[in-house]
Structure 1
Amino acid sequence: MNVTFFNAKPYDKQFFEAANPEFGHQLKFLEVPLNEHTAVLAKDAEAVCAFVNDHADAAVLRLLAEGGTRLIAMRCAGYNNVDLKAAAELGLKVVRVPAYSPHAVAEHALALILTLNRKTHRAYNRVREGNFALTGLMGFDLHGRTVGLIGLGKIGLVTARILKGFGCRVLGFDIQHEAEADEIGVEFTDLDTLFAQSDIISLHCPLTPHTFHLINDEAIAKMKDGVMLINTSRGAIIDTKAVIKGLKCEKIKYLGLDVYEEEGDLFFEDMSAKVIQDDVFMRLLSFNNVLITGHQAFLTSDALQNIAHITLQNISDFEHGQALTNQVLP
């Protein structure tokens, strides 16, 4: 099939071209994001491959369908940026990569926790300047601390296993109760209890109408003083302005983000020569107890190999009329 990629980075091209000989598709890589202005560039492409910050609303999908597109292949797990109802009405199928490497994201969450706790990012800069003073670098033992995980899917469960290896008590909340969580030793509880007892809270749930701004003023008020909050899932699960208030009053002592609710105009691009116009984001950067990475939790060679293979298999399944095991329905 003819496949047009939007928002394609060098690593996308590298891994998809390496995987494609097994599938034999015709791949076209575009650096521009998918939106109402760029959708025409996919004319005659039977499939369009998009990423988390591409726009696939009704207007965009209509343009794609008019150009001959029949399949939207998301090269990620998230699909909240796709209007599924509109896609169905236009006869477009939507597929995704539900699990590319839960270890990649779980390990990045732990990297954020350990970096914030032991302040290795600040220590690195001090040592490079010849400053070997330890004042202000004190952390705490992760062993024995209580960590609350909101979302116990594949990523959440891998995170739980890692944390149990550190000797943590792990609380968990999810709408489904997986038996594997019991085997790991996760204590299932309600959100209020998780908020009240957790020293660290890590988010691993999808963005849905129910999880939008799940972490808000009311939720933060229920948390322990000095809590650490980690988000490697979706930015809009956190109400950023509420979190800033929590940081200012020191209710939140540490914040680690790999996602941001308004990241679409920032992440995946080099903005170093520009003035960033997002005042809320810049306020976050002003705190010395906030660590932000630019949506890189997925970025391991293992994950990218899996993303490329599963995405191309999804496209081949569609081409050959086979069951779409990774299809997303309205």
Structure 2
Amino acid sequence: AFTGVDHIALDACREREILVCNAAGYSTNAVAELTFGLAISVIRNIVPCDARCRQAGTKDGLVGFELFGKTFGVVGTGAIGSRVAKIAAAFGCKVLAYSRTPKAELQADGVSYVSLDELLAASDFVSLHVPLTDATRGLINAEAIAKMKPTAVLLNTARGPVVDSEALAQALNERRLAGAGIDVFEGEPPIAPEHPLCHAKNTVLTPHVAFASAEALAARADIVFANIEQWLAGAPQNVIK
């Protein structure tokens, strides 16, 4: 009942001729929407603003900045990344993308595909939407973070190990990055209180909740039951190769 299959021993399944089917597509809108929830929370200081309000405070020191007119970089343009790119454009952002397979429909909508280094250097927001593979593990490491603007915000609603959390926390605390919105970690929440991102400046954390809207969970159940029915009928769907 997942889109990602990085937690499945696929080689062992292939050796034993065990079919693996996922629930692709159920959380596309949910994850894309939370991506922007995290982005806006970071840049408009929503969490500290809430605390300030409850303490009879004012906006002093909490004035943020806008998405409009900024450069939004999308790393991975599968279903979720493509949806994020379109929403970013609707906010009035210039959208850059990095992916193994550029999508003509996004290019037609004005999305520019560039190298990862170019995207990191030019983007005000870097949003991650890649699966966890050997190639993407540690993709955003200290070296990659050093290529980003000090005013940039990193968003991760993909998989935790795509980012080096220690390097990210250090960059945030040294103000070499402006902020981060993180929904995923090296393991499933709860995360330890001593996790480096729990003590990083201007960081909004959520406990792997991006996929978990009421609508997405209902759609996931429908897909999983349909997968079983199609397998019983001899015509399996959503098969992982």
Aligned to 1:176: 101
CA drift at 1:278 = 6.1
Q: 1:209 to 1:116 in 2, by over 3 A?
A: same
Bigger radius of gyration among the two: 1
- Superposed, 1:63-212 pairs within 5 Å as 75-131=1-57, 133-212=58-137
Does the aligned pair in 2 maintain the 1:201–1:229 contact within 8 Å? yes
Alpha-carbon distance between aligned partners in 2 of 1:216 and 1:153, rounded to the nearest angstrom: 22
| CA deviation vs aligned residue, 1:267-316 (integer Å, no higher than 9, x gap) | 4xxxxxxxx6563x2x3112341111011111112211210011111111
Helix, strand or coil: the match of 2:20? strand
Following superposition, the deviation at residue 220 of structure 1 comes to 0.9
Partner of 2:238: 326
DSSP 3-state at the match of 1:230: strand
Is 1:292 the counterpart of 2:205 in the alignment? yes
Does the 8 Å contact 1:160/1:170 carry over to 2? yes
Q: Cα distance, 1:126 vs. partner?
A: 1.4
Change (3 A) 1:160 1:234: same
Name the structure 2 match of 1:248.
173
SS in 1 for 2:97: strand
> Does the Cα contact within 8 Å between 1:79 and 1:96 map onto a contact in 2?
yes
Is the 8 Å Cα contact of residues 160 and 184 (structure 1) preserved in structure 2? no
Measure, in 1, the Cα distance between the counterparts of 2:49 and 2:36: 18
Equivalent AA in structure 2 for residue 300 of structure 1: S
Q: 1:88 deviation in Å?
A: 2.0
Q: Where in structure 1 do 4 or more consecutive aligned residues deviate above 4 Å?
A: none
Show CA shifts across 1:71-107 (max 9, x none): xxxx110101111111122332111011113111111
Q: 1:88 to 1:278 in 2, by over 3 A?
A: farther
Distance across 2 between alignment mates of 1:238 and 1:288 = 17
Comparing 219-228 with 106-115, greater Cα deviation is found at: 219-228
Q: Distance in 1 between matches of 2:128 and 2:193?
A: 23
Which residue of structure 1 aligns with residue 230 of structure 2? 317
8 Å CA contact 2:32–2:84 kept in 1: the answer is yes
How far apart in 1 are the matches of 2:121 and 2:148?
A: 5
Tell me if structure 1 keeps the 8 A contact 2:29–2:80.
Answer: yes
Superposed CA RMSD in Å reads 1.4
| Normalised TM-score (structure 1) | 0.70
RCO higher in 1 or 2 (8 Å CA, sep ≥ 6)? 2
Instruction: Indicate if the aligned counterparts of 2:179 and 2:201 stay in contact, CA closer than 8 A.
Output: no
How many angstroms apart in 2 are the aligned matches of 1:119 and 1:195? 23
Q: Is the 8 A contact 1:228 1:252 kept in 2?
A: yes
Q: Secondary structure, in 3 states, of the residue corresponding to 1:180?
A: helix
Name structure 1 gaps, 5 residues minimum: 1-74, 268-275
Return the match for 1:217 from 133, 142, 146.
142
Q: Matched residues in 1 for 2:125 and 2:30: separation? A: 20
Counterpart Cα distance in 2 of 1:207 and 1:124: 34
After TM superposition, list the pairs within 5 Å mapping 1:228-247 onto structure 2. Answer: 228-247=153-172
Cα distance in 2 between the residues matched to 1:162 and 1:99? 17
- Looking at structure 2, the residues matched to 306 and 102 of structure 1 have their Cα atoms a distance apart, in angstroms, of 11
Give the letter aligned to residue 325 of structure 1. Answer: Q
